[in-house]
Amino acid sequence: MLGRQHGFYSDVPAIGWRIDSAIDGVEDMWVARAKYHYEKDEEKKKAACANFFDSFFPAWCNIYDKRIAANTSKHHLVGDNMTIADFAMAGYAYANIFNTGCSFHKELQAVLENYPNFKEYLVHLGEHNLKDFLASRPSPRTF
């Protein structure tokens, strides 16, 4: 596993579980997003979109807000250093929440305002850990 080889994964089973759990949550977000993004039936799409913004995304943000509040570092999802969980989260956040090429980034940011720990973590991730990378990629990035 590349994460372990490069110091972004723990050999301690309990910490590894926390990393894996955080990544599972990011994967849950991609699935939830896809449910309405790729829906062909307009009525189903509208209902799935409403569920995403009214229920799923706020609950998801709340989970990460609490995780970060309970973590030893407010700048990482697990522990005091970057892990593969932070990279997974960055992939979602900077493709959607902080990507002006994403058609609903403003709606995501509006919900995120209610979760200050999570928002601070994501902003810090982009301004410190990923600053050079984000500055070098084309903007806005559509998908």
Summarize pLDDT for 75-125 with one digit per residue, the tens: 999 999 999 999 999 999 999 999 988 888 999 999 999 999 999 999 999
Q: What is the pLDDT of residues 32-53, one digit of tens each?
A: 988 888 999 999 999 999 999 9
Residue 130: pLDDT band with limits 50, 70, 90: confident
pLDDT at 55 over 90: yes
pLDDT at 142 over 70: no
pLDDT at 62 over 80: yes
Residue 130 per-residue DSSP state: S
Nearest to residue 63, comparing CAs of 10, 24, 98? 24
Query: Is the four-CA dihedral 17, 15, 57, 63 of positive or negative sign?
Result: positive
Give residues with Cβ within 8 angstroms of 54, minimum separation 6: none
pLDDT score for 101: 87
Crossing angle (nearest 10°) for helices 105-112 and 116-124: 120
Predicted TM-score of the model (pTM): 0.90
Residue 4: pLDDT band with limits 50, 70, 90: confident
Residue 1: pLDDT band with limits 50, 70, 90: low
pLDDT at 72 over 80: yes
* DSSP codes joined into one string, 2-58: HHHHTT-S-SSHHHHHHHHHHHHHHHHHHHHHHHHHS--SHHHHHHHHHHIIIIIHH
Q: How far is CA 33 from the centre of its chain?
A: 12
Average pLDDT of the segment spanning 41-67: 95
> How big is the CA angle at 23 (ends 81 and 27), to the nearest 5 degrees?
150
Query: Is the four-CA dihedral 99, 104, 109, 111 of positive or negative sign?
Result: negative
